[in-house]
Structure 1
Amino acid sequence: MNENDKSKVGKEKAPIYEALLAYRHSKQRSFHVPGHKNGQVYHQWIGHTKQDTERKQKWTGTFAEKKRVTETGQKREHEQGKAVFTGVNSMNPVDEQNPAGRLYDADCFQNSVVPVRAYLEMMEMDVTEITGTDDLHHPEGVIREAQELAADCFGAEESFFLVGGSTAGNLSLLLTVCDEPESIVLVQRNVHKSVIHGLMLGGARAVFLEPWVDPVSGLAVMPSVETVQAAVQKYPEAKGLFVTLPNYYGMGADLTPIAEICHEAGMPLLVDEAHGAHYGQHSELPASALSCGADGVVQSTHKMLAAFTMGAMLHVRGPRLNRSLLRQRLAMVQSSSPSYPVMASLDLSRRLLHVHGAEAFTAGLAAVKAFKRGLAELPRFQLLQPADVPLQQGPPCGHEVPAAMPGRAGYTAQDPFKVVIYDDTGVLSGYGLQQQLEACGCVPEMSDERNVVLLFSLGSTLQDAEQLLEALRHIHEDNMPPEHPLPLIGSAQSVAENNPPKYVSTWNIKEQNSAVSEPVVFSLQPIKETDTIELPIEDSAGYRAAEMVIPYPPGIPLLYPGERISSKVVARIRTLREEGARFHGISDHIARTLKVMEQR
């Protein structure tokens, strides 16, 4: 076998998933956790409850037939599974097309204590650290092999599986660089709440960098190169720079010059790339943070790829991160009983990319392009795009266009899978349009008072695009605009210059005279209740916040404890509240009142 063939075989493996299949088919008796014993705990309750009396005959009648068909069809697979569990790898996707499996009717269990068949079968692969399944916190077998394959796929020197989402990765990176009390860290201000929590856990001093705001859309992206350069020069002792790319609208910029600035100063570049796990995997997608020189990158594999929810990865390159300390920090913030189904889904998601490469995105990109072509016939619903890309003119199916758009200082790349639309008549806010879409059976990712974010992925289909277009047609007919609608933000640069855009994202506060803040001290020491008062939001300006205010989604704090409350922030909270936004962190979830520090 030549080297290319060997490489292909390696990529086709899914070590963790195969180990779970082997365990399932080995039929070993469980004398270990978890307590559901491969789902066996529910078997005794099949047809047991009063509500199940009428269903019992249906269940028992089909169970015998399923058992007969399954035992016949799986005899060989069971033997393969035993072999796999003792170290031989099997590529046989067992029981995936078993016709007898359909005999388990979900109606049998609708009002029962017994879960549906699919859930019970998943329990058969929910294991713990036993012989053959390895240990996430000290990987030597299948987990180590799976992580090495992930590193190869995503261009890292070392990759770590995360079972607590990108939150676990963000926390561990910050706890790694904050290796002494009051470490200074340069931080993009509009970061996810997990980054603020990491600063608190690390007892850090954060120097906040104001993000660059796109003048056309009014949306915050990331700090400009000039802002980063100024921050690094002012605080050369900083332990690192932490940025988010892309933002929740799929907007981004080239990280390469920022990475160069950091490295010249001897500090690592840390990137929350939660929404960019697919970046760099297709020519129509923006470049990945790792390929631009980032040292530590966190990706939510479950968001834009094919893993289970909570499945994420942390990728590392270069010598600027203490990897032994990073492993210790990961062990601190991750469960000592990690979910094996989640890890197996990371393994399978990687294998899909490794085996099919760019082809894995063909169907999803075709769905996006079909939607954009259809959207051009509905001029009421406009598409948020960079100013130098004509509105409503997506590239024809199969035609590749560069993901980067030169000439836009802070916004040079757009994720094609993040489709951001708005009602150009102004009749429906973003929140209102989301509600209308949900009523038509289409559930968006998020919305703000103007925009709706529609998330496509490699799993999207042409049928998805058509249903979405049909929903928008229906919404248009049911929500006719007035004869003379008020004009909204234009899409041309000249319009933006003459009519400065309203800041419309859930986080978008241009507060400081300087783009680089003074160090802000974070700690875990709570603010005493006796030192706080509760005020109406409208009366809170000038006080310091005693709690976080986090519009969710996307989870970017408007306020953190101890931050001075400005009139701009008060107005922002009121606007979001009136538009129907949800909030985390704040005691009053409808955001009528806010806890503040008693002394101004």
Structure 2
Amino acid sequence: MEPFFSPILNALIKHAQNRPAGFHVPGHRYGQALQQDFQLKEPAAHPAVWFTSIMQLDVTELSSTDDLHHPEASILEAQQLAARTFGAEETFFLVGGSTSANIALLLTLCEPGEKIIVQRNVHKSVINGLKLSGAVAVFLSPQVGQRSGLATIPTVEQVGDALRLYPDAKAVLLSSPNYYGMGVRLKPYAELVHKSGIPLVVDEAHGAHYGFHPDLPQSSLADGVDAVVQSAHKTLPTLTMGAMLHVQGNRIDREILRQSLAMIQSSSPSFPILASIDISRAMIDSLGNRMFEQSIAAAASFRDWLRQQSTAIEEIEYDIMAMETDESTTHYTDPLRVVIYDSSSRLSGFELQRRLEQYGCFAEMADPRYVVLVFGIQASLEDNEKLQHAIEVINEECQSSAKASHKEDNAYAQMYISERTATVTAGISDPVSFSRERFNNQHVERINLTEAQLRISAEMVTPYPPGIAILNPGEIITSMNIEQIRLLSEAGAKFQGAADPTMQTIAVYHKKDENNV
């Protein structure tokens, strides 16, 4: 345990306490610009009430603050403290979320046309990084739970097979844990990849809290991974867009990485976001295990309550231990994430999420089958009671309405599992080029989705959340893809990357150009 100490916050407070006369950006001048009289539609919504305290700390790069892209003072000290706390050799603070780190890593690791082995079910930021770098991706299909239909990461054996097939690959990129809190220990993966002399990088966006309590999983940094990306804002008390990139070892050129981060991130980073990352680290150093005890207890209490109820709303039955895996690989689930669903199939995940919101409970995400609940720092008994009440009322409403099961949702639930199980047999993809020439290709047409089977997609189709692409440009569209997109759209999913938000149509390459894709 250490005294609370945040060098970035201290620097900002000291600067504000000096009552500076600001002749610099940003334009709000420490919030003074809001101190004006104007007509309000809602009296409680005066911006000065809500934003002045934040704006007092929202400054630019000054001699009394620091520069994120060339840190020498408070930011440098804060990053060094974070590296010590999280177990890295070097830590970079990010103001563009994990997205900025994923893109910067791909720009660092791959020149145009070079291969990288990538887990198939990655966040769209990885796909965008492939586009910007012009790399060639070899996709590995994930392991899939037979009952849940949820994907984790490829097997160690798959990674080994891919390395033998493509010995010129520059790196391996995996994503663990998934959005549902399911992951694996990565030591055997790191050892295998390192035998090929290349780095293993991991998108650990949902695991910034890992390793700081006996009930929490260990971070992949402890398994020897070369670069780990964490969204601090997801599970730590950090402002949205605050994230970290941890690096260790000598397999990644850190100077090129710094240059890549400078290209991707704003030249005017948010100091409140930077300070909030530092505050999270300082809280961990000061509180230790105690920081997470209440949230772990709240999630466990809710799980216990749910098991004792006779409602149709249940927690997912995790089945990751039943998947094929190397004996040295250990699976885990995040105790701060509770995944629920309607076992009677009356409600899809999207509908259950909407019903919860009607009673003031807002979930992290939903898909056609599940709802993901995240129990954050200091999750309260009052919030638990509100959630329990909502579930009780929703269950009673469903039973009294005698509503017939959603046939489409049931069909999707089966297809959802079948499609993901089928991807296991797909194994290792052929190399998929993400060259800029392909994305500048003008020979694209838009056709009805129902007519797109066996055509080559010219756009990325990404239901959000969780932001994992169903299709990437250059991939062949299967009948399963079409059915999955149709059912997701009918269930209310939102799509990013696709020009037609209704997903009635999809962009494909002209048949005469397909051989050049």
* Paired letter, 1:24: A
Of residues 163, 176, 180, the one that matches 2:108 is: 176
Please show how residues 202-241 of structure 1 align to structure 2 within 5 Å.
202-241=133-172
**Partner-residue secondary structure (3-state), 2:118:** strand
Q: Structure 1 residue 148 and structure 2 residue 80: aligned? A: yes
Distance in 1, matches of 2:295 and 2:327, equals 27
Residue 446 to residue 434, structure 1, CA distance change in 2 (3 Å): same
Cα shift at 1:465: 1.4
Cα shift at 1:287: 1.4
TM-score (norm 2): 0.92
Residue 407 to residue 414, structure 1, CA distance change in 2 (3 Å): farther
**Partner-residue secondary structure (3-state), 2:414:** coil
Q: Structure 1 residue 550 and structure 2 residue 462: aligned? A: yes
Of residues 5, 8, 29, the one that matches 2:2 is: 8
**Partner-residue secondary structure (3-state), 2:137:** strand
Corresponding residue of 1:55: none
Distance in 2, matches of 1:366 and 1:514, equals 40
Query: Structure 1 regions of 5+ residues with no counterpart?
Result: 1-6, 53-106, 390-405, 489-499
Distance in 2, matches of 1:388 and 1:546, equals 34
Please show how residues 133-144 of structure 1 align to structure 2 within 5 Å.
133-144=65-76
* Paired letter, 2:357: E
Checking the alignment, whether the CA contact within 8 Å between 1:549 and 1:583 is kept in structure 2 is yes
Corresponding residue of 1:247: 178
Distance in 2, matches of 1:175 and 1:51, equals 47
Of residues 358, 368, 393, the one that matches 1:449 is: 368
> If you compute each CA radius of gyration, which structure gives the higher value, 1 or 2?
1
Corresponding residue of 1:597: 509
* Paired letter, 1:232: L
Q: Structure 1 residue 303 and structure 2 residue 234: aligned? A: yes
Checking the alignment, whether the CA contact within 8 Å between 1:507 and 1:556 is kept in structure 2 is no
**Partner-residue secondary structure (3-state), 1:274:** coil
Corresponding residue of 2:315: 383
Distance in 2, matches of 1:431 and 1:313, equals 31
Greater relative contact order, per chain length (Cα 8 Å cut-off, separation 6+): 2
Corresponding residue of 1:322: 253
Runs of 4+ in 1 over 6 A off after TM superposition: 406-411, 481-488
Q: Structure 1 residue 464 and structure 2 residue 458: aligned? A: no
Distance in 2, matches of 1:386 and 1:512, equals 18
Distance in 1, matches of 2:191 and 2:39, equals 68
1:47-98: CA deviations, max 9, x gaps? xx3559xxxxxxxxxxxxxxxxxxxxxxxxxxxxxxxxxxxxxxxxxxxxxx
Distance in 1, matches of 2:319 and 2:231, equals 29
Distance in 1, matches of 2:372 and 2:108, equals 33
Checking the alignment, whether the CA contact within 8 Å between 2:448 and 2:505 is kept in structure 1 is yes
Residue 511 to residue 252, structure 1, CA distance change in 2 (3 Å): closer
**Partner-residue secondary structure (3-state), 1:502:** helix
1:283-316: CA deviations, max 9, x gaps? 1111111001110000000001110000000000
Corresponding residue of 1:19: 11
Of residues 354, 358, 365, the one that matches 1:435 is: 354
Distance in 2, matches of 1:314 and 1:506, equals 35
Cα shift at 1:162: 0.2
Residue 50 to residue 196, structure 1, CA distance change in 2 (3 Å): closer
Distance in 1, matches of 2:9 and 2:50, equals 17
1:223-282: CA deviations, max 9, x gaps? 011111111121222111001000000011121100110111111110000001011111
**Partner-residue secondary structure (3-state), 1:33:** coil
Cα shift at 1:510: 3.5
Cα shift at 1:118: 3.1
Residue 136 to residue 580, structure 1, CA distance change in 2 (3 Å): same
Corresponding residue of 1:480: 399
Of residues 110, 113, 117, the one that matches 2:49 is: 117
Checking the alignment, whether the CA contact within 8 Å between 2:112 and 2:134 is kept in structure 1 is yes
TM-score (norm 1): 0.80
Distance in 1, matches of 2:160 and 2:92, equals 30
Checking the alignment, whether the CA contact within 8 Å between 1:448 and 1:505 is kept in structure 2 is no
Distance in 1, matches of 2:148 and 2:308, equals 22
Deviates most, 535-544 or 310-319: 535-544
Corresponding residue of 1:39: 31
Q: Structure 1 residue 537 and structure 2 residue 449: aligned? A: yes
Distance in 2, matches of 1:193 and 1:449, equals 19
Of residues 204, 214, 224, the one that matches 1:293 is: 224
* Paired letter, 2:429: S
Distance in 2, matches of 1:333 and 1:507, equals 35
Number of aligned residues? 505
Please show how residues 62-81 of structure 1 align to structure 2 within 5 Å.
none
Checking the alignment, whether the CA contact within 8 Å between 1:213 and 1:410 is kept in structure 2 is no
1:382-423: CA deviations, max 9, x gaps? 21133499xxxxxxxxxxxxxxxx999987110011100111
Query: Structure 2 regions of 5+ residues with no counterpart?
Result: none
Distance in 1, matches of 2:5 and 2:39, equals 46
Residue 542 to residue 241, structure 1, CA distance change in 2 (3 Å): same
Provide the aligned C-alpha RMSD in A: 2.6
Q: Structure 1 residue 364 and structure 2 residue 307: aligned? A: no
Checking the alignment, whether the CA contact within 8 Å between 2:116 and 2:135 is kept in structure 1 is yes
Cα shift at 1:530: 5.0
**Partner-residue secondary structure (3-state), 1:583:** strand
Distance in 1, matches of 2:373 and 2:419, equals 18
Checking the alignment, whether the CA contact within 8 Å between 2:199 and 2:252 is kept in structure 1 is yes
Distance in 2, matches of 1:475 and 1:51, equals 38
Checking the alignment, whether the CA contact within 8 Å between 2:146 and 2:421 is kept in structure 1 is no
Cα shift at 1:482: 8.5
Checking the alignment, whether the CA contact within 8 Å between 2:156 and 2:326 is kept in structure 1 is no
**Partner-residue secondary structure (3-state), 2:288:** helix
